[in-house]
Structure 1
């Protein structure tokens, strides 16, 4: 009868994971020691601690300095020269679209509108009279055409007079907050005289520069965090809206613009910010820091395949807390040796004692 061999690996309390006892025994059924057939020398499995590989995205934190401007911002200038007769605002006032800010002397323009309106009415009456007598043949077609053209010219003259009158009033082009002005009633202005500024501060546009290395990793709609230099913490969030179409050949950077919500009106246009972005650049295997080994040809890990170890080259991509992102041919779920690496060699059988070692 052929004898059977049984084996057991047990950890020794207080010892390292390499201290194991292999107990061999002969099962019942052997009549004598001489009946045990000789066996070839067996390679004992090396006890090791393993950990499975998982994959995760590589996260890169990018910080930049950004400069802000209002979502809408203009400096107001008059269309024409004239004398200021009324100033309707003070610095910091909120205005709505179309609300008058400054009025220039417009007496001549109002008279011009009235005159154009009278001329239009006269032209309409003449044309109407010609129309009524058209059937009698007393009015030629040429005279009728001239009267029709006169009506159109009078209408255009009236519209031009209204435009000239509108130019005597400077109005808000959009809802916003007004800046400081140096104008007072009686001041003379020209088209080159700045009246004031108006900013829509409900949202800010923050522009910052990003190294060309990250070109293609930034997309419109991506979230960012911004912080003022006063508090240092990122208490505001934004969304990327625009990415420049070219890279600056001098700085090797490209411009990115983000929109930051400011409905609480705590920020001001022109402020600088610390911009923080979290970028995701590909997925890589994650191995424990203790699993990474170094040899003459670079870094590697001991991977376990069919209960045998093999040397797998690994390039460090990013260091994490207690783990390392590597560029390596390590399938997700494959185990790597974390304890006992000093005794490894290519093709060595190993026994996983992770659970036993954890119980010590």
Structure 2
């Protein structure tokens, strides 16, 4: 029993010593805790320091000014077609093809037109040959006339022979004039038919890029038709990429902040980090009554293949300093 009491007293003494050691260590670490709280208890000072421009890196400010949204449009865009109705025989392009002005895009079936052209050329050749034949007859008739006149002067021939020879000459001259008129008419018909044959060829009216292929081989092309089924009104949609610009609508109350030639910064939704230098090309001199807006055309200062028709864009009209 006494041994148990002695062991208990020993453990009690050890516990008292450990407590004294721990309390002593706590007193020594107290001053550092007070210093940390002193440095962190001034959040206002740290906020002011962060707000100070001299203590933070410089950030380029965004340009200020009137902001408007719009779309990229082309000033020159056309649905290319033929002037006649016909079946498409050949197509010489695909979407995205860069074409030059006058380049052949498609051909229609011109078999009948060429047959008619050959017939008219044959008629023209026949008319020219007839002129040659009549000219030879006229030369002979003039010789006969001269002979009859000499005989009549020498009282050998009759006046009736002279009159008949003169009538033959006059008749042949009239026939030659008619034949020459026929030749002129035939030449006009040939040129007209050649033009008709040429109209079976569809050419690009200006240089640009084909953005849509609207027809296929075998379909009927009819510019006067409403389309549908196998009938097409055009073979391609052509855009002049050099004519791309942005059209935006500006509120009537803000239009006084926009002027022709004003510097503009354009940003495409597809490339939000690309600032495109631009300028105000024109302010359309009419307002939209239903929306109370005025249309403004913005032209790009630089061209880039990334700019495409119908892209959404946001423009900032930079304020004049």
Q: CA deviation digits over 1:300-338, x for unaligned, max 9? A: xxxxxxxxxxxxxxxxxxxxxxxxxxxxxxxxxxxxxxx
Is the CA contact (8 Å cut-off) linking 1:203 and 1:262 kept in structure 2? no
User: Residue 200 of structure 1 is aligned with which of 221, 237, 240?
Assistant: 240
Is the CA contact (8 Å cut-off) linking 1:86 and 1:185 kept in structure 2? yes
Superposed, 1:20-39 pairs within 5 Å as none
Superposed, 1:108-123 pairs within 5 Å as 108-123=112-127
More strand by share: 1
Superposed, 1:132-171 pairs within 5 Å as 133=138, 136=142, 138-139=169-170, 143=175, 145-171=177-203
Aligned equivalent of 2:288: 248
Superposed, 1:263-282 pairs within 5 Å as 263-280=303-320
Q: Compared with structure 1, are the counterparts of its residues 154 and 211 closer, same or farther at alpha carbon in structure 2 (3 Å cutoff)?
A: same
Q: CA deviation at 1:181?
A: 2.6
More helix by share: 2
SS of residue in 2 equivalent to 1:241: strand
Q: Compared with structure 1, are the counterparts of its residues 149 and 102 closer, same or farther at alpha carbon in structure 2 (3 Å cutoff)?
A: same
User: Residue 63 of structure 1 is aligned with which of 60, 67, 74?
Assistant: 67
Give the TM-score of the pair, scaled to structure 2: 0.59
Is the CA contact (8 Å cut-off) linking 2:101 and 2:205 kept in structure 1? yes
Q: CA deviation at 1:98?
A: 1.5
* Structure with max Cα Rg: 2
RMSD (Å) for aligned C-alpha atoms: 3.2
Give the TM-score of the pair, scaled to structure 1: 0.53
Question: Which ranges in structure 2 are unaligned for 5 or more consecutive residues?
Answer: 1-62, 143-165, 226-231
Question: Which ranges in structure 1 are unaligned for 5 or more consecutive residues?
Answer: 1-58, 284-360
Taking the aligned partners of 1:142 and 1:274, their CA distance within structure 2 comes to 77
Taking the aligned partners of 1:124 and 1:273, their CA distance within structure 2 comes to 66
Taking the aligned partners of 1:216 and 1:229, their CA distance within structure 2 comes to 26
SS of residue in 2 equivalent to 1:154: helix
Q: Compared with structure 1, are the counterparts of its residues 254 and 139 closer, same or farther at alpha carbon in structure 2 (3 Å cutoff)?
A: farther
Pair 1:172 & 2:204 matched: yes
Q: CA deviation digits over 1:245-266, x for unaligned, max 9? A: 2222232221111222564311
Is the CA contact (8 Å cut-off) linking 1:201 and 1:262 kept in structure 2? no
Taking the aligned partners of 1:220 and 1:124, their CA distance within structure 2 comes to 64
Is the CA contact (8 Å cut-off) linking 2:244 and 2:299 kept in structure 1? yes
SS of residue in 1 equivalent to 2:84: coil
Q: Compared with structure 1, are the counterparts of its residues 118 and 217 closer, same or farther at alpha carbon in structure 2 (3 Å cutoff)?
A: farther
SS of residue in 1 equivalent to 2:76: strand
Q: Compared with structure 1, are the counterparts of its residues 266 and 60 closer, same or farther at alpha carbon in structure 2 (3 Å cutoff)?
A: closer
Q: Compared with structure 1, are the counterparts of its residues 277 and 126 closer, same or farther at alpha carbon in structure 2 (3 Å cutoff)?
A: farther
Is the CA contact (8 Å cut-off) linking 1:110 and 1:165 kept in structure 2? yes
Q: How many residues align?
A: 223
